[in-house]
């Protein structure tokens, strides 16, 4: 279990400028593997399926009863995006001035969307426990192709999410977590970057991308490992024997590639996988 004592009053990170000139979170002290780096409640949660249902009702003339104080929203929303944008703005009115400022200061890579919904789309995180998006209180951590933090673990009872260290992190290293929503763990580097640009609207500038861009040799080595990982993954789909051993090989190779989050998940899965001798 992660070290719960890590959630102290003084955070384990500081906010600073990355090599690319953007804000990021950096380890204030050395952080041991498994340590909880962040544990907090989201700013708000949007139940996307429910909101889509309400929009359909509103579009059919059977919408929900108007909320007092929403006189400026008397006209019907023309699109689901506009409907969600209004809902987010209503939620923000219940927050503090500082929280609203934190929200509007977040990045928006979807200029074609209504502003509030564009920010939400850029920064929201989906969870298994929630049907909608889990919104981070502050966008402290940048995503990376080779992250050193886990995916967000959401506790639906406490309504908190947490991030833990995937490995020992030296003081001063940037804290990053996985890109979510794009299942390309073992895809080649160029394809990965194209998909990030297409889906999120920006070019990844994480440390791993910096290494690949500056060294053709490192890029070729990485692509070779990723190709081997894809082939091993295909073996899992076409054979029922030796799965545990194959998963262990994938986990070890993923660790070598720097895919610590993937390696951790596969290692845990391999431990409960029936062995070939059974």
Q: What percent of the chain has pLDDT over 90?
A: 27
Whether 202 and 267 map to the same domain: the answer is yes
Is residue 177 a part of any domain in this protein? no
Whether 128 and 218 map to the same domain: the answer is no
Look at residues 76, 99, 134 and tell me which one is the last residue of a structural domain.
134
Look at residues 98, 114, 134 and tell me which one is the last residue of a structural domain.
134
Whole-number Å distance between alpha carbons of 219 and 141: 25
**Looking at residues 215-235, what average pLDDT do you find?**
92
Tens digit of each residue's pLDDT (9 = 90 or more) over 62-104? 555 444 445 455 577 888 899 999 989 999 999 999 889 888 8
Is residue 194 a part of any domain in this protein? yes
**pLDDT for residue 135:** 58
Q: Tell me the pLDDT of the chain averaged across its residues.
A: 80
Whole-number Å distance between alpha carbons of 130 and 159: 10
186, burial (CB in 10 Å: exposed 0-12, middle 13-18, buried 19+): buried
Is residue 76 a part of any domain in this protein? yes
Whether 112 and 190 map to the same domain: the answer is no
Tens digit of each residue's pLDDT (9 = 90 or more) over 196-205? 888 777 788 8
Residue 156 has pLDDT above 80, yes or no: no
**pLDDT for residue 1:** 34
pLDDT band at 139 (very low <50, low <70, confident <90, very high): low
Is residue 123 a part of any domain in this protein? yes
Whether 200 and 130 map to the same domain: the answer is no
Is residue 163 a part of any domain in this protein? no
Lowest pLDDT segment from 6-20, 41-55, 69-83, 255-269: 69-83
**Looking at residues 23-32, what average pLDDT do you find?**
93
Is residue 198 a part of any domain in this protein? yes
Whether 114 and 201 map to the same domain: the answer is no
**pLDDT for residue 148:** 94
* Of residues 124, 132, 165, 231, the one with CA closest to residue 13: 165
Whole-number Å distance between alpha carbons of 49 and 55: 10
Lowest pLDDT segment from 57-61, 90-94, 105-109: 57-61
pLDDT band at 47 (very low <50, low <70, confident <90, very high): confident
Look at residues 118, 134, 150 and tell me which one is the last residue of a structural domain.
134
Residue 121 has pLDDT above 50, yes or no: yes
Is residue 156 a part of any domain in this protein? no
As beta bridge partners, residue 177 has: 143
Whether 191 and 273 map to the same domain: the answer is yes
Cβ–Cβ under 8 Å, residues 225 and 113: no
The two tokens of residue 161 are 């999410």
* pTM given for the model: 0.72
Whole-number Å distance between alpha carbons of 20 and 28: 20
**pLDDT for residue 49:** 74
Whether 194 and 269 map to the same domain: the answer is yes
Residue 9 has pLDDT above 80, yes or no: no
Please provide the DSSP assignment of 128-147 as one string.
Answer: SS-SSEEPPSS--SEEESS-
Task: Mention every residue, 6+ apart, whose C-beta is less than 8 A from residue 272.
Answer: none
The two tokens of residue 132 are 């909608």
As beta bridge partners, residue 27 has: 13
How many separate domains does the chain show?
2
Domain of residue 52: give its range: 45-134
Is residue 7 a part of any domain in this protein? no
């Amino acid at each position: 279990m992660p070290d719960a004592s890590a959630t102290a009053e003084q955070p384990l990170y500081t906010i600073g400028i990355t090599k690319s000139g953007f804000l990021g979170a950096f380890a204030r002290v050395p952080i041991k593997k498994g340590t909880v780096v962040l544990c907090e409640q989201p700013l708000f949660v949007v139940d996307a399926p429910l909101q889509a249902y309400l929009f359909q009702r509103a579009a059919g003339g059977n919408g929900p009863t108007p909320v007092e104080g929403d006189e400026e929203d008397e006209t019907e929303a023309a699109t689901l995006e506009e409907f969600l944008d209004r809902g987010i703005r209503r939620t923000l009115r219940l927050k503090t001035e500082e929280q609203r400022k934190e929200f509007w200061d977040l990045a928006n890579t979807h200029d074609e969307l209504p502003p509030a919904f564009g920010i939400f789309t850029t920064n929201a995180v989906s969870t298994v426990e929630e049907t909608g998006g889990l919104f981070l209180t502050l966008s402290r951590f940048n995503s990376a192709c080779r992250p050193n933090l886990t995916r967000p673990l959401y506790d639906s009872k406490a309504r908190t999410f947490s991030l833990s260290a995937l490995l020992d992190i030296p003081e001063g290293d940037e804290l990053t977590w996985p890109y979510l929503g794009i299942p390309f763990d073992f895809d080649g580097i160029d394809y990965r970057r194209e998909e990030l640009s297409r889906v999120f609207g920006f070019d990844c500038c994480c440390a791993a991308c910096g290494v690949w861009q500056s060294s053709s040799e490192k890029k070729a080595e990485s692509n070779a490992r990723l190709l081997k990982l894809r082939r091993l993954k295909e073996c899992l789909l076409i054979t029922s024997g030796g799965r545990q051993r194959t998963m262990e090989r994938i986990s070890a190779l993923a660790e070598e590639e720097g895919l610590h989050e993937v390696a951790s998940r596969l290692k845990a899965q391999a431990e409960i996988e029936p062995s070939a001798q059974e």
